[in-house]
Chains A and B, each alone.
Chain A
């Protein structure tokens, strides 16, 4: 257990105590806890985010649920643009379902302190495309960018340049 505890993030108890569904951590050994947290994402922050460990490294992986994102015209007032159904295949209670918009813009924001220090991270956009989806083919890429704000050393090069992504 002493060895396995070293593989867990320093603040793992704080994270577990904030889980949406109580994790019986006291009944688990540190090894069991490590496997539980790497095999099965833990919903945190009222269920708006999920927390998981990368099994090979013990590094933190955070996923923001759609409700945690800022989606243009996705505030629920215009369900003919965006709808908020329940999705049994999602770890989150609700997903954002796009019906059609003329301007697609999504922002996500999180505290970098939630992540493992001194670690190289990749940000992914996770989605499903229906068979009849359109507007996402090779001729219609989207712009994507990851930025890090407010670094103590003022290094604004800590983020990647804008790139084109192809959902289709």
Chain B
């Protein structure tokens, strides 16, 4: 999973997911 631009110089990378059931 690669980091991507988020805006204003910030980056984000997906760490994982979950279902809040």
* Chain A residues engaging chain B, CB cutoff 8 angstroms: 89, 112, 115-129, 144-148, 155, 158-161, 163-168
Contact = CB atoms under 8 A, between A and B. Distances in A.
Nearest to A118: B21
Interface of B: 1-3, 6, 8-21
Contact of A165 (B8, B13, B17, B21): B13
18 contacts: A112-B20, A116-B20, A117-B20, A120-B17, A123-B15, A123-B16, A124-B15, A126-B11, A126-B12, A128-B10, A129-B3, A144-B13, A158-B21, A160-B16, A161-B16, A163-B16, A165-B14, A166-B3
A124 B18 CA distance: 12
